[in-house]
Amino acid sequence: MIRRSTDANVTETTLPASDLLPSVPLLALDRQYDALRDQIREAINRVCDSGRFVLGPDVAELEAELAKALDVPHVISCASGSDALLLALMAFGIGAGDEVIVPSYTFFATASAVTRLGAVPIFADIDPTTYLVDPRDVERKISTRTRAIVPVHLFGRTADMDALTPIAARAGIPIVEDAAQSILSTWHGRCSGSLGDVGCFSFYPTKNLGGAGDGGFLTTTRDDIAKSLKLLRVHGMEPRYYHEVIGINSRLDSIQAAVLRVKLPHLDTWTTARQVNAARYRDLFAEYDLASRVAVPGDEPRGRHVWNQFVVRVLGDERDALRAHLAKRGVGTEIYYPVPLHLQKCFTHLGWAKGDLPETERAAEQTIALPIFPELEAAEQRTVVARIAEFFGAERTETAAAKSALPMPHVLRRAVGKADDVRC
Ligand SMILES: Cc1ncc(COP(=O)(O)O)c(C=O)c1O
């Protein structure tokens, strides 16, 4: 039975408050850095000593290592995930008058890559369970002007490529995968980024493979597109000072590549830790009578979900009050994303209105991201869920609690997040 508590008096959980941790960060990059500090500093020193700061051997090595890890023939690094999207659309010659179908429930860069080229983003709604673009809505929105589809593998789960691939094929247009949040996610055994025509990835520090600053890369199975991308990222210049096409300056710094090369060998282990954390959250939520309050995300049966974010839906209209309660209790959360792109002020001229994408709008009002990073400890997860239960006054059910064997130290002695600049 659920007894809803008022915010001033939320002490109803059956776990004593003394068993809960004083805070849990949304993300604690310092924990990852602690483990790799010496190797990362050595890698940075090596680049500084070499005097080669842009592209160079570390970038070439990183590209080769990523190609192997993702089992894709071409990896082309660039300056950010946003640039990766821009470069991909440029490689397909997308420009003024063209339409590109994108979800509205995503980070801004998915759509701004389209508008930066003078093309028009056509927003599609999402599936309410996975939060991924709804292929039926994509199909409805194909027109004679559509030049590409950009599905986003949001939160680390691959979009429904079984449904999207034939839609793109029928329309004769490419799929540009926005895989910024989904490195190492798979679909029927193949990595995201190798499923469509081009994949676009981000090395932003909060990503599953994050650098020490901005960075990104593209993947493709197509030789022609790989060639274009390599040209476009260096001002279309080949050979030096001769410009075949108009490109942009979007190269990966050698220091980023060197840092990322230290981290890449750990990515698979970190990804598994995220999966373990997601499964543990599901078990913890099941211990409480919360099903009518919070919808917890399931795993992806058709492939590997890499859990860049663990986003739950707060049923009803209490998401913001819950978030405020968690903030008071020291639990870090984030809203991805509070304003859908079709309702952003800068896109007013595109003519979209509230009500146009009902599932997207509902998700923006109800979802909240909980800590899921690989170094997150079981006791911290227990605190997060107990604090949520506390807000709703939800009982801990005897049978589920009895099954639980998670340790719960009174104080977890470790530094908490210095890395809460979490935007995408
Ligand atoms: C879905 C999505 N697309 C694109 C980007 C842009 O990547 P970047 O920040 O590296 O430019 C991000 C996040 O940053 C993202 O989450």
Nearest CA residue ID for atom 14, ligand 1: 424
Q: Which atom of ligand 1 is nearest to the CA of 181?
A: 16
CB 216 within 8 A of CB 80: yes
pLDDT digits (tens, 9 = 90+) for 300-348: 999 999 999 999 999 999 999 999 999 999 999 999 999 999 999 999 9
* Contacting residues for 355 by C-beta, under 8 A, at least 6 apart: 361
pLDDT of res. 399: 57
3-class secondary-structure state, position 292: coil
Task: Enumerate the β-bridge partners of residue 117.
Answer: none
* pLDDT in the model for residue 226: 98
216 CA: nearest ligand 1 atom:
10
Percent of the chain with pLDDT over 70: 89
Coil, strand or helix: which one is 55?
coil
Residue 81 alpha carbon to ligand 1 centre in Å: 5
- What is the Å distance from ligand 1's center to 216 Cα? 9
* pLDDT higher than threshold 70 for residue 245: yes
**Which pLDDT band holds residue 384 (cuts at 50, 70, 90)?**
very high
Q: Average pLDDT, whole number, for the chain? A: 92
Nearest CA to ligand 1 atom 13: 424
Residue 417 has a pLDDT of: 32
Q: Where are the domains of the chain?
A: 7-32+266-403, 36-263
The whole-number average pLDDT for the span 63-84 is 98
Using the atom order of ligand 1, give the atom closest to the CA of residue 203: 10
Residues 6+ apart with CB under 8 A from 184: 69, 70, 191, 208, 267, 268, 271, 304, 306
Gap from CA of 386 to ligand 1 centroid (Å):
32
Pocket of ligand 1 (CB under 6 A): 80-82, 106-107, 109-110, 152, 178, 180-181, 202, 204, 214, 216, 424
Q: What is the pLDDT of residue 411?
A: 31
| Ligand 1 pocket mutation, candidates 27, 105, 182, 204, criterion most atoms within 8 A of CB | 204
Q: Hey, what CATH topology would domain 7-32+266-403 get?
A: Aspartate Aminotransferase, domain 1 (3.90.1150)
DSSP state of 288: B
pLDDT digits (tens, 9 = 90+) for 112-157: 999 999 999 999 999 999 999 999 999 999 999 999 999 999 999 9
User: Which atom of ligand 1 is nearest to 214's Cα?
Assistant: 10
Burial (CB count within 10 angstroms: exposed 0-12, middle 13-18, buried 19+), residue 333: buried
Q: How far is the CA of 178 from the centre of ligand 1 (A)?
A: 8
Q: Does domain 36-263 have CATH number 3.40.640.10?
A: yes
